[in-house]
Amino acid sequence: MFKGFSRLSKDEKRQILIREGLISENELTELIKAEHSQVEFRKRLEGFSENVLSSYHLPFSVAPNFLINGSLFMVPMVTEESSVVAAAAAAAGFWAQHGGFHCVVKNTVKVGQVFFEWEGEPDQLHKVLSELTAVLNEAAKPITENMEKRGGGITGYSLVHHVAVSEACFELHVEFETADSMGANFINSCLEIMATEIPEFIGQHFPDQPEAEIIMAILSNHTPECTVECYVEAPFEALGKFDTNGDGKHFAVRFKKAVDIALNDTSRAVTHNKGIYNGISAVLLATGNDFRAVEAAGHAFAVKNGKYVSLSGVTLTDNSFRLSLEVPLAVGTVGGLTRLHPLAASALKMLKEPDAKTLMMVIAAAGLASNFSAVKALTTSGIQHGHMKMHLVNILNQMGATSEQVEEAQRFFKDKTVSVSAVRSFLTKNN
């Protein structure tokens, strides 16, 4: 046990790790090297977390040519997977020539929950719900006033009786609009005020009943109403370039079968949706949004009908192909890290300072682009062909290749299959 570890300086924490044999002096050197050279920037990063030892760097990339509802975007992406940006950019370039991505935000409702126990009759609470909500709105007014000026605020209430938990378990379900903010702090602050008001209100209205006891008050990352739809569409002939025989309809039919498998087989659906989130999460990270919350919401959305399925679908007509995606995306362009992290701020500037709805559409398009590229690869050359080409430099670096060997290997493997054993054999012969 390390008591008071968080109160130690960064150097003291590092020395404990060395003393315990958890890192070596060489690894300590790497930690120090990874720190940002500018003290002010480094301190800002360290303020984001606890027990900071160093900074962990990921590539900040951009995927060009995203035509979304007629506007062209350069989309910032942060990811360690080498093929994600290339795949998204390739898909974006293709679809920009065929009408681009068509997106619409269906809703932006976000949710909070106050759970409490009360031994009274549910009908009694329902009868006074409108009176309760008026009290709660008034109590939360100091917090909601500024949000209301920006077009947000509390938009609705409902009462849920969770009999599966216990006969005494209730939930006040609260809906919010948070404008361009992610809204987590705003929602939680409102809910905690409500949690102090509910027991007092129930006690005043039902003095002969047992007191209500708050269990917890917290936002929900399950946002099935806060969704965006995105689709791409093209005639079969436009897809001919992806088929070995130039048959666009053959490609489209095979593509649809692959997506239909993900709509019916859970094992495939999980990997299929992971491919969608390759694009979505990369943009979320770049813009300082909560990728964990969005992914959790997406996977819950994928199982909304009782079985985990693909988030995307394909429709074929007599002569055209349409790939569509609907996902929940509770994101923001103000608050959190969106402005506090300089690179997140730069990412939003790169996107022309979008509002939250525009960012939702950009993120959905990145997800659909990643999905298209992944399924295209699976149904044509195979996923490893392009992935391993992109991964070649990583393999070479892991094997300690010189810059000259890297250049020679890239020329050598231009028309050959890349694998770890093949790269090792190449280095052995060219040592």
Question: In the structure, what pLDDT confidence band is assigned to residue 204 with cuts at 50, 70 and 90?
Answer: very high
- CATH architecture of the domain with residue range 60-106+224-380: Alpha-Beta Complex (3.90)
Side chain identity at residue 427, one-letter code:
L
Predicted pLDDT at 412: 78
CATH 3.30.70.420 in the chain: give the residue spans.
Answer: 110-220
Interhelix angle for 184-205 vs 129-139, to 10°?
130
Q: What is the mean pLDDT of the chain?
A: 92
Would you place residue 391 in the very low, low, confident or very high pLDDT band (cuts 50, 70, 90)? Answer: low
Is residue 390 pLDDT above 70, yes or no? Answer: no
Element counts in the chain: helices (H) and strands (E): 17, 10
Rounded (10°) CA dihedral 423, 427, 428, 431:
180
The tens digit of pLDDT for each residue in 15-64 reads 999 999 999 999 999 999 998 888 888 888 888 899 999 999 999 999 99
Q: 274 catalytic, yes or no?
A: yes
What's the CATH architecture for 110-220? 2-Layer Sandwich (3.30)
Mean per-residue pLDDT, 192-204: 97
Q: What is the pLDDT of residues 350-369, one digit of tens each?
A: 999 999 999 999 999 999 99
Location of each CATH 3.90.770.10 domain in the chain: 60-106+224-380
Nearest to 87 by CA among 350, 387, 381: 387
User: Does residue 427 contact residue 399 with C-beta atoms inside 8 Å?
Assistant: yes
CA distances from 105 to 110, 164, 326 (A): 14, 34, 10
Q: Report the DSSP beta bridge partners of residue 219.
A: 112
- For residues 380 and 388, the answer to whether their CB atoms sit within 8 Å is no
Calculate what percentage of the chain has a pLDDT beyond 70.
Answer: 96
Q: Residue 58 carries which side chain, given as an amino acid letter?
A: L
Tell me, yes or no, if 35 is annotated catalytic: no
Which of these is catalytic: 357, 387, 389, 391?
387
Single-letter code of the amino acid located at 270: V
d(C-alpha 357, C-alpha 263), whole Å: 28
pLDDT > 80? residue 346: yes
Which is the catalytic residue, given 13, 173, 274, 299? Answer: 274
Q: Is 411's pLDDT higher than 90?
A: no
Q: Residue 290 catalytic?
A: yes
Tell me how far apart the alpha carbons of residues 362 and 355 are, in angstroms, rounded to a whole number: 11
The active-site residue, picked from 12, 27, 81, 167, is 81
Question: Of 177, 180, 233, 290, which residue is the catalytic one?
Answer: 290
Determine the angle formed by the axes of helices 266-286 and 342-350, rounding to 10 degrees.
Answer: 100
Does the structure show a pLDDT above 80 at 172? yes
SS3 119: coil
Give CA–CA dist 137/385, Å, rounded.
57
Is there a contact between 366 and 63 (Cβ–Cβ < 8 Å)?
yes
